[in-house]
Amino acid sequence: MTTDRTQDGKGSDVHGIFQKIAGYYDRMNFVMTLGRHEKWCREVAARVAPARGGQLLDLATGTGVIALEAARRYPTVTVTGADFSAEMLRRAKAKPGADAVRWQHADATDLPFEDESFDGITEGYLLRNVADLPAVLREQHRVLKPGGRVVILETCPPSGLVEPVVKWGMRVIVPLLGQVVARDRKSYTYLESSTRAFETPQSIAVVLRGLGFRDIGWRKKFFGTNVILWATKAN
């Protein structure tokens, strides 16, 4: 989640949702993934593998799960956690180990960093919430050093034999969990619908390749509803 990522209605609406759900964001991620979310975040941090003494950017840092794991895993690396939600950042800063991360309010469509500033970029659930996905990935390509890797945790539209069952579960259960756990059915109805409507990993790979990334791969998670993608900026 990274100030308004866009200046249009969607950017404003999404910003409002993430400001609102910050207090129960970690709890809902745990419940919706049956406890798998933190494991996926650890895998994202492990896959980015920035150079020793380098710079790592965690976009859509939210409550800082990936950024904090990266700071623990790579003690010689400077980790910057960036998000558009001041409330998310406030909660990230209150977590144990938060002093090891540089927290920054930032717009994913117009990053406040110089070209080729980072040895690696991670992100969690950013792309489905932006109006211009190629523009956001273009910004990441700009600030990433040649040979640096981007690792993305995202939702994924289900497919295959389980697709009807999974879609039904997402449509019914996710908003219900939002009502029961967070007392906020509306926000999680949006999050469920954005998951079902989002791009496939193959589509994101096409955009990454067109921007100059190589060695692109992905691994689906949790009945195909989440995915970890990775790519390397060409030298």
- Residue 61 annotated in ligand binding: no
- Residue 132 annotated in ligand binding: no
CB 127 within 8 A of CB 152: yes
Angle, in degrees to the nearest 10, between helices 65-73 and 37-48: 50
Query: How many whole angstroms separate alpha carbon 139 and alpha carbon 119?
Result: 14
- Residue 107 annotated in ligand binding: yes
CB 216 within 8 A of CB 230: yes
Beta strand ranges found along the chain (DSSP E): 55-59, 78-83, 101-105, 118-124, 144-155, 213-221, 226-233
213-221 sheet: strands from edge to edge: 101-105, 78-83, 55-59, 118-124, 144-155, 226-233, 213-221
- DSSP labels for 130-151? -S-HHHHHHHHHHHEEEEEEEE
Instruction: Please state the separation of Cα 203 from the chain's center in Å.
Output: 17
Residues annotated within a binding site: 63, 83, 107-108
Residues annotated within a binding site for S-adenosyl-L-methionine: 63, 83, 107-108
